[in-house]
C-alpha cells in the first residue's frame, strides 16, 4: 500500500464518523454569504501570484514546525505579499485541523484554500461551512464521474476548485470534468518524491483558458522565473516557508 492509499484508508474511517452531520453541514454551508474570490487572486497581474501554505507536518518529513501558530503565520504571509493562503487540514498524517480555516480568516483578508483528501460530497459542505474560498480535488483518488460531480457541487456552494494532477492522463481527466484551475503537483503522492520538471513537461498541455498552478518543490526565485516562462500563472509553496525561521523573507525572495 502506497502513502496515498494509507492516508485515504484512515481518512475514510474519519469521514464515516462524521457522515451523520451531513445535513447540518449542508445547512451551515448554504447560510454562508461571505465570499473571497480565490480564482481572481490567482489571476493577479500586479505581482507573482503565490499561495502560501500552512501545514504542520508531512508524511515524508515529519513535523515541519512544532510551534506553528496558524493566525500568526497567516499574518506573516499576508504582509509579505501572498495572494491567498492554503491550509492543510488533514489530522492524522499532516497534524492539521479544520478549525484553522476560521482562525486564518479572522487573521487575514486573503481567500483560503482547504487542502485535504476529499472523496464525499458532504466534505464540500463542510469546507464551505468552515469559511474556505476554495477546495482541493486530487484526480488520483477520484473516479471521473465523482470529480465532475464534485467540481459542479463546489461551484454551487461558492467554492473555487483547485484540481490537482501529476501526469498527462490525470490532466485529461481534469479537463473532461470541467476543471478551470489546474494544479500540477511536482510531488508524486504515491511515493512523495518531488521533481519540478513535472510542471515543465505538462505546461504545454494545459489550455490557456485554465489557471495553471505549480505545487511543491519550489525553493528559489529561479524556479519561479523558469516556470513563469513555461506558462505558469500561480504558485503554491508550503514546506519552504512553514519550516523557515523567517518565512516572510523567504516569501519575498520568491516574489
Residue 13 is predicted with a pLDDT of 85
* Burial class of residue 47 (count of CB atoms within 10 Å of its CB; 0-12, 13-18, 19+): exposed
Judged by DSSP in three states, 20 sits in: helix
Which residues is 54 bridged to in the sheet? 87
39: exposed, middle or buried (Cβ count in 10 Å: 0-12, 13-18, 19+): middle
Q: Which residues of the chain have pLDDT under 70?
A: none
Show the cell assigned to 242.
512553514
Residue with cell 512544532: 66
Q: How far is CA 228 from CA 22, 33, 214, 225, in A?
A: 41, 34, 10, 5
Is it true that domain 3-254 has CATH number 3.20.20.70? Answer: yes
Residue that has been written with the C-alpha cell 478551470 in this structure: 180
Helix (H) or strand (E) holding 140: none
Sign of the alpha-carbon torsion through 52, 57, 58, 63: positive
**Quick one: DSSP state of residue 141?**
G
In the chain, domain spans: 3-254
Catalytic residues: 53, 55, 115, 164, 185, 215-216
Residue 3: the pLDDT is 78
State the pLDDT at residue 11.
84
Amino acid at each position: 500500500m502506497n502513502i496515498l492509499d494509507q492516508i485515504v484508508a484512515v481518512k475514510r474511517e474519519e469521514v464515516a464518523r462524521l457522515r451523520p452531520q451531513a445535513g447540518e453541514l449542508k445547512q451551515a454551508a448554504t447560510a454562508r454569504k461571505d465570499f473571497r474570490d480565490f480564482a481572481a487572486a490567482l489571476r493577479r497581474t500586479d505581482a507573482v501570484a503565490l499561495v502560501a501554505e500552512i501545514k504542520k507536518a508531512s508524511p515524508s518529513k515529519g513535523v515541519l514546525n512544532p510551534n506553528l501558530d496558524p493566525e500568526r503565520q497567516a499574518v506573516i504571509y499576508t504582509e509579505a505579499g501572498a495572494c491567498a493562503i492554503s491550509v492543510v487540514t488533514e489530522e492524522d498524517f499532516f497534524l492539521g485541523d479544520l478549525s484553522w480555516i476560521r482562525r486564518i480568516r479572522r487573521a487575514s483578508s486573503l481567500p483560503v484554500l482547504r487542502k485535504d483528501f476529499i472523496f464525499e460530497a458532504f466534505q464540500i459542505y463542510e469546507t464551505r461551512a468552515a469559511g474556505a474560498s476554495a477546495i482541493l480535488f486530487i484526480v488520483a483518488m477520484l473516479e471521473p464521474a465523482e470529480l465532475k460531480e464534485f467540481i459542479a457541487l463546489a461551484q454551487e456552494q461558492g467554492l473555487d476548485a483547485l484540481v490537482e494532477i501529476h501526469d498527462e492522463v490525470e490532466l485529461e481527466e481534469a479537463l473532461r470534468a470541467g476543471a478551470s484551475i489546474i494544479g500540477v503537483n511536482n510531488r508524486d503522492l504515491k511515493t512523495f518524491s518531488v521533481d519540478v520538471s513535472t510542471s515543465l513537461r505538462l505546461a504545454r498541455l494545459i489550455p490557456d483558458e485554465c489557471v495553471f498552478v505549480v505545487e511543491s518543490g519550489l525553493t528559489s526565485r529561479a524556479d519561479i522565473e523558469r516556470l513563469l516562462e513555461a506558462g505558469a500563472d500561480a504558485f503554491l509553496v508550503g514546506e519552504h516557508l512553514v519550516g523557515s525561521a523567517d518565512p516572510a523573507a523567504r516569501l519575498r525572495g520568491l516574489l
